């Protein structure tokens, strides 16, 4: 590989992905025309993830945490050490096409109005993942609270971002109130509030397995984490009246779904799926009811 080694810093946060981190780092090492500096922050994995990095990739700068600090906080640990003009925030359950980092850097060089951008994201079977959103959580009710923002893209999938290092360091990195989930949406919004657009890089491609660090977590608990992250986002960016409206709507919708699932359960062929959905909507209702008046 050739190129300026200070053009790009890569931060990967790992948690119990020993079977995936090797392929991810190998794909990073195979990048064309870019020699990145690579950081892996391991959040106290119990499956030997840190050992895989230490033994197979000695040039990677490994930080092995003694406790799981959360996704955003772990990324922030490497932020002061990054010397690249750009930072790529990369999930360990991804692999990167050889030209992707070069294309990301070229895109950012050519679009100074873009603060953060994401690549095209594919599933392992080659189909495309939905990685670009024009809306934030609760956007239907909270858009007016956000005011006028640059660009049409609200956020891009957190599996892979490229962001300007100076900007990322200036805004203090991720908000560590988000332990897992929601931090990518919050980061994109904060960057837009700084006057930058969010971009999409069609000729940069990654493959994303998705959700691998949570594969041993019960589905209902994953839902709970996601819903709680949404409420961290709401409290940070929306007015109190907007949040109460969102809570009321989510509570009513979840109550209706619980009612219909129970009503149709005797006639449902896939009982397992129905139970999972029931557990999901119970969690949503529990979280939505917090702070609502008792008569709701």
> Of 86, 90, 84, which is closest to residue 40 (Cα–Cα)?
90
pLDDT score for 293: 60
Taking the CB of residue 113, how many other CB atoms lie within 10 A of it?
A: 10
SS3 119: strand
What pLDDT does 7 receive?
Answer: 87
Q: pLDDT tens digits, residue range 103-138?
A: 999 999 999 999 999 999 999 999 999 999 999 999
* Segments in the chain below pLDDT 50: 1-5, 295-296
- pLDDT at residue 111, rounded to an integer: 98
Tokens representing residue 277 in the block: 């959905």
* 165 burial type by CB count under 10 A (0-12 exposed, 13-18 middle, 19+ buried): middle
Percentage of the chain beyond pLDDT 70 is 93
* Predicted local distance difference test score (pLDDT) of residue 130: 95
């Amino acid at each position: 590989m050739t190129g300026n080694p200070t053009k790009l810093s890569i931060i990967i946060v790992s948690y119990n992905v020993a079977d995936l981190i090797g392929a991810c780092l190998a794909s990073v090492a195979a990048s064309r025309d870019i020699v990145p500096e690579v950081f892996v922050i391991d959040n106290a994995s119990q499956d030997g993830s840190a050992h895989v990095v230490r033994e197979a990739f000695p040039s990677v700068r490994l930080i092995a945490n003694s406790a799981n600090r959360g996704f955003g906080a772990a990324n922030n640990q490497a932020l002061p050490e990054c010397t690249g003009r750009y930072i790529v925030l990369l999930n360990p359950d991804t692999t990167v096409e050889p030209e992707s980092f070069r294309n990301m850097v070229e895109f950012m060089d050519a679009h100074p109005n873009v603060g953060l951008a994401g690549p095209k994201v594919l599933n392992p079977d080659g189909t495309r993942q939905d990685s670009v959103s024009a809306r934030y959580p609760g956007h239907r009710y909270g858009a007016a609270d956000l005011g006028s923002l640059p660009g049409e893209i609200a956020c891009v999938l957190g599996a892979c971002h490229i962001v300007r290092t100076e900007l990322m360091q200036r805004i203090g990195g991720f908000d560590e109130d988000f332990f897992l989930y929601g931090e990518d949406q919050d980061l994109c919004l904060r960057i837009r509030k700084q006057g930058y657009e969010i971009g999409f890089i069609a000729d940069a491609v990654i493959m994303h397995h998705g959700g691998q660090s949570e594969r041993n977590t019960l589905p209902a608990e994953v839902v709970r984490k996601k819903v709680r992250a949404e409420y961290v986002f709401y409290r940070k960016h929306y007015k109190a009246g907007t949040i109460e409206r969102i809570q009321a709507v989510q509570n009513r919708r979840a109550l209706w779904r619980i009612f219909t699932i129970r009503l149709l359960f005797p006639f449902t062929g896939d009982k397992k799926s129905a139970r999972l959905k029931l557990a999901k909507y119970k969690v949503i209702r529990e979280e939505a009811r917090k702070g609502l008046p008792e008569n709701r």
